[in-house]
Structure 1
Amino acid sequence: MDSRTFGRVTLTLPGLDEPGLYLSSVQSLEGGRGVLQDFHYADAVLRVLDLAGAQLVSGKITGLRAARVHLEQLRLSVVEFDNCDLGSATWRDSKLSRVVFRNCKIMGAALSDLTLDDVLFESCKLDYTTLENLRATGPVVFSQCVLTETSFTGCDLTNAVLDACTLRLTEFGKGRYKDLDLRGNDLSAITGVSKLSKVIIDRAQQVELAQALLAELDVTYGEDLDDR
């Protein structure tokens, strides 16, 4: 079974390239009785992708471009998204297990009430996205992602990993962050430092967190008062 390790976390990957596994090309993500299995959905360009109450099992979604995306009450198991542009998607109340997003754009999106287990976001752009009430019940990793002005609100990211990500004005709101591994990131421009109780960092990152906290507090330095 294919896996990758990030820090203290080992992810089980979909492993859809294993010998003997055949994926059938499909023209839609709507399967019979709401279940789509052993599929490959490729290079679709859509004005609207609206999917609710479906199960996607053992499949690849590659090169998908959709101007407007609404996803709700989905169950994804052993699925890969590769080089997809989901734009400002609305995605809520869903469960993802052994799912990989690779080289995807999910910018200005609203992701809420998602349960994640063995989920990897790799080299994805999630700028200006709101992630609300996400729950990591197993390994969750954001690796080499751009999270500029992304907001985490009410999330449980216990034991999750952010690895070599761009965290410029990334906001950490109220949530659970115990053992969230932030090593290998520049933390000097994040917001919500006071919420990051019990996270994992390197000692060298103490200075970055101090910079972020001082910027957030908007302090005035005494020596600057003489110039007023």
Structure 2
Amino acid sequence: MRTTTVGDLRILLPDLDPDDLDTISDPTGDLSDAIIEDASWRGAAFDDIGIRGSRLTGADLSESTWEAGVIFGCEITRTDFSGTTLSGMSIERCAVTGSRLTGTRFTDVRLKDVLFEGCRFDYATLTRVAAAGAVAFVDCVLTDATWSSCRLPDTVLRSCQLARLELDSCHLQGADLRGNSLHDLKTGLGNLRGVTLHEDQLPDLTQLAVQDLNLTVRKR
């Protein structure tokens, strides 16, 4: 069993043996124990597809549509999901590294034991995304993204770019936001209830409070 630790969070990761994987180029049907390299499935439609125990590298899945289905036990590297729509999906025990999710739309997606590292989520929209287990974002770009009605308790964000990230009606109780700048975060204080911060982030939190409460601050 392969694991990694981010902050205080322990994440189960896929443990793939390349000798057990077969090279696949056709996205039709469930994909299990497969190696998918440099495939171009731009604009493809996936309905209730299952991808299990597979490794995706350098694939172009931009502008594709995913309805229901599951991605389980996969390593996804340098893959382009920009402009993609994922709805009703379950993503579990996956490591997503160096991938592009610019403008990607997640709706009713369930995450469990998922590590996003070095990924771009700028302008992405997460709506009713829920964490059923460990989830971490490390060195990710989340600028100008929107999280709405998401339930991501205990999620860890580390060394991420959060400028103009908008939080709306989100539940982040127990989330660890240490190691990120909160400057220009677009959120009311209620979305940050119960999160963990470092003392160096308190000036940014104070500025958020001034904005949220519409305070007038004067020197004298």
Same fold at TM > 0.5: yes
Number of the residue aligned with 1:26? 24
- Identify which of 107, 117, 126 aligns with 1:122: 117
Q: How much does 1:216 deviate?
A: 5.3
Alignment of 1:66 onto 2:66: no
Question: Once the two structures are superposed, what CA deviation does each residue of 1:107-127 show, in whole Å capped at 9, x if it has no partner?
Answer: 111101011110111000000
- Report the CA distance between 1:151 and its aligned residue: 1.0
Partners of 2:13 and 2:94 within 8 A in 1: yes
Q: Pick the aligned partner of 1:144 from 139, 145, 149.
A: 139
SS of 2:186's partner is: coil
Partner residue in 1 for 2:153? 158
Q: Distance in 1 between matches of 2:215 and 2:207?
A: 11
| Pair member with larger Rg | 1
Q: Secondary structure at the match of 2:210?
A: helix
Partner SS, residue 108 of structure 2:
strand
Deviation at 1:45, TM superposition (A): 2.3
Aligned counterparts of 2:171 and 2:38: Cα–Cα separation in 1: 38
Counterpart check, 1:190 vs 2:190: no
Match of 1:37 among 9, 13, 32: 32
Distance in 1, Cα, partners of 2:52 & 2:28: 12
Q: Is 1:212 equivalent to 2:202 in the alignment?
A: no
**Paired amino acid for 2:196:** I
Q: Give unmatched runs, 5+ long, in structure 2.
A: none
- Greater mean deviation of Cα atoms: 206-215 or 177-186: 206-215
Answer yes or no: is the 8 Å Cα contact 1:191–1:216 preserved in 2. Answer: no
- The answer to whether the Cα contact below 8 Å between 2:41 and 2:64 also exists between their aligned partners in 1 is no
Residue equivalent to 2:11 = 11
* 1:17 positional shift: 4.0
Q: CA deviation at 1:222?
A: 4.3
- In structure 1, distance between residues paired with 2:169 and 2:126: 12
Contact in 1 for aligned 2:76/2:95 (Cα 8 Å): yes
Percent identity between the aligned chains?
A: 28
> In the aligned structure 1, how far is the partner of 2:98 from the partner of 2:214?
36
Which runs of 5 or more residues in structure 1 are unaligned?
224-228
TM superposition score normalised by structure 1 = 0.90
Deviations 1:38-79 (A, max 9, x none): 001110123422111111110011101134210110111101
Number of equivalent positions? 219
From the two aligned structures, give the one with the greater strand fraction.
1
- How far 1:217 sits from its partner (Å)? 5.7
